Structure 1
Amino acid sequence: MSSINVLMNNLEKLKLFKIKENINSYLDMMADGVKTPMDAFSEMIQMEVNHKEDLAIVSCVKIANFPFQRGIQDFDFSFQPSLDKNKVMDLASLRFLEKTENI
Structure 2
Amino acid sequence: MTDYSDLAEILRKRMDDLLERAEAVEDDLRHPLEADSSEQAIDLADDEALAGVDDVLRQEIAQIRAALLRIDNGTYGTCASCGGPIGRARLEARPIATRCINCAE
Considering Cα pairs closer than 8 Å and 6+ residues apart, tell me whether 1 or 2 has the greater RCO: 2
Q: TM-score by structure 1 length? A: 0.36
- The structure that has the greater radius of gyration is 1
Q: TM-score by structure 2 length? A: 0.35
